[in-house]
Amino acid sequence: MNKLVVSNTLYNRLRPLDSLRGFAAMGVAFFWHYRHFNYSYFDSNPSAMPLYSSFNWFYMCGWNLVDFFFVLSGFIFMHVYSKKITGNSISEKEFFILRFSRLYPLHVITLFAVAFIQYYRFFSGKGFFQCEINDLYHLILNLLFIQAGFFEDGLSFNTPSWSLSSEIIAYILFFYVLKKLKKPLPVFILFVFIGMSILQKQLNSPFFNASTAKMLVGFFIGCLTYLLNLRILKLNNTNKSILFIIIIILSILTGIMVSKVGYMKFFGHWDRVMPLLVYPLMILAALNVFFINKILSLRPFTYLGDLSYSIYLLHFPVQLLMVTFLPMLGLVPDYNSWRGLAVFMIITISFASLSYHLVEQPLQNLIRKKFLTERVD
């Protein structure tokens, strides 16, 4: 077999995509949100952030990696659930309990952890850290998983969790489109078009806003990417090799052009180009290009993927802990240096590992054991 491409069998867990999800979570947590440690200074002096020259895209544009999460989710959901839903081998109850057990326990734990520390800061005279919206109304929205895209006044409590409530909408649309329609492809395309239209018109109302639009574009582009990948898998190895050689050459040429004219100028609306083109190509390359697949399948990388949800939800509570309690112990990292970044990363990954093994997985299994008659992966 030609060594450029892997076999036509998709791995059940799609391990290379686990690695990509882990890297994306790190990009959001450790670089884009690193500015929280000294927001006013870092926002006006971004080059002062540690290792800026190496990670400047992540520091300045890392927020867009949430769109990558949406694209990955759409692809993975098609891989895991599409045949089960269309074949009636998974019920409505089973599907939503599986999703609830995956997302909700850690969301609630981090929600109350952030609320506790924020109000400790407030009553001790330190003031809220970064996020000022921490009232009862938004606590209820968070508990109901409707903290973004519905009736909120802005980001609240554990701010990164906004993307979860947008994904809930995606899960509902995904399940019922596949359940009710024999040909979901046109509807997937329609959802992408609706999302792009909302972004283009800059709408900002319940359900029709940037949060919902990014989900619609990203998630259903992921679904379409899965269908495209099925077509690629039907090609013979020679044709696949030619296809991905062309993609690699085009990527290199694009990189050269970007380096000459600048990322923003080259792509224009770059934030829309990423979920529409760049992220799908990354997924296709990770699954189909042999050496990329092998590297991303290495256990240290895939383990970061296992921890990605914990990293994503825990990094803001870790920041709260660090800025609130480390000064009380006489320990204040130099957040302008790589050492401050390293301390933040080590603490967050350590907490994420403990969370994954002692909280996330046990509670997920407990809920599924209690509410599902038989375990569905």
Q: What are the contacts of 290-296 at 24+ separation with CB within 8 A? A: 290/3, 290/4, 290/5, 290/6, 291/3, 291/4, 292/16, 293/6, 293/16, 296/15, 296/16, 296/17, 296/19, 296/20
Residue 265 vs residues 59, 104, 187, 271, 286: alpha-carbon distances, Å: 18, 40, 32, 12, 27
pLDDT, position 372: 85
Q: Per residue in 274-305, pLDDT tens?
A: 898 889 989 998 988 888 889 999 999 999 99
Residue 217 vs residues 70, 167, 211, 231: alpha-carbon distances, Å: 8, 12, 10, 21
Q: Quick check: is 3 in a domain?
A: no
Q: Per residue in 298-351, pLDDT tens?
A: 999 999 999 999 999 999 999 999 999 999 888 888 999 999 999 999 999 999
> How large is the average pLDDT for residues 164-168?
91
- Decide if pLDDT at 264 tops 80: no
pLDDT, position 252: 74
DSSP letter string, 295-323 = HHTSHHHHHHHHTHHHHHHHHHHHHHHHH
Q: Quick check: is 6 in a domain?
A: no
- Decide if pLDDT at 172 tops 70: yes
Phi, psi of 48 (to 5 degrees): -80, -15
Q: What is the pTM of this model?
A: 0.89
Percentages of the chain per state (helix, strand, coil), in multiples of 5: 75, 0, 20
Q: Quick check: is 4 in a domain?
A: no
> What pLDDT band is residue 135 in, cutting at 50, 70 and 90?
very high
Q: Per residue in 12-50, pLDDT tens?
A: 468 999 999 999 999 999 999 999 998 888 888 888 999
- Decide if pLDDT at 258 tops 70: no
DSSP letter string, 221-266 = HHHHHHHHHHHHHTS-HHHHHHHHHHHHHHHHHHHHHHHHH-HHHH
Nearest in space to 24 (alpha carbons), one of 60, 76, 78, 67: 67
With pLDDT > 90 as the criterion, what percentage of the chain qualifies? 66
Q: Per residue in 62-103, pLDDT tens?
A: 999 999 999 999 999 999 999 999 999 999 999 999 999 999
Q: Quick check: is 8 in a domain?
A: no
pLDDT, position 375: 47
CA 179 to CA 361: how far, in whole Å?
28
CA 59 to CA 336: how far, in whole Å?
13
Beta strands in 41-188 (DSSP E): none
> How large is the average pLDDT for residues 123-148?
93
Q: Per residue in 195-218, pLDDT tens?
A: 999 998 888 888 899 999 999 999
Both ends of the chain: CA-CA distance in Å?
31
CA 264 to CA 290: how far, in whole Å?
31
Q: Which domain holds residue 37?
A: 15-371
In the structure encoding, which two tokens stand for residue 335, read together?
A: 């957040």
pLDDT, position 265: 62
pLDDT, position 11: 42
Residues 131/157, Cβ–Cβ less than 8 Å? yes
Q: What 3-state DSSP class applies to 5? A: strand
Q: Quick check: is 235 in a domain?
A: yes
DSSP letter string, 346-372 = HHHHHHHHHHIIIIIHHHHHHHHHHH-
Angle at 13 between CA 75 and CA 11, to 5 degrees: 90
- Decide if pLDDT at 123 tops 80: yes
> How large is the average pLDDT for residues 127-136?
92
Q: Quick check: is 376 in a domain?
A: no
pLDDT, position 250: 75
Q: Quick check: is 263 in a domain?
A: yes
Greater model confidence, 274 or 140: 140
Number of domains observed in the structure of the chain: 1
CA 349 to CA 342: how far, in whole Å?
10
- In terms of residues, how long is the chain? 377
- Decide if pLDDT at 364 tops 70: yes
Q: Quick check: is 9 in a domain?
A: no
Q: Which residues contact 16 (CB under 8 A, 6 or more apart)?
A: 286, 287, 292, 293, 296, 297, 302
Residues 138/153, Cβ–Cβ less than 8 Å? yes
In the structure encoding, which two tokens stand for residue 158, read together?
A: 């554990």
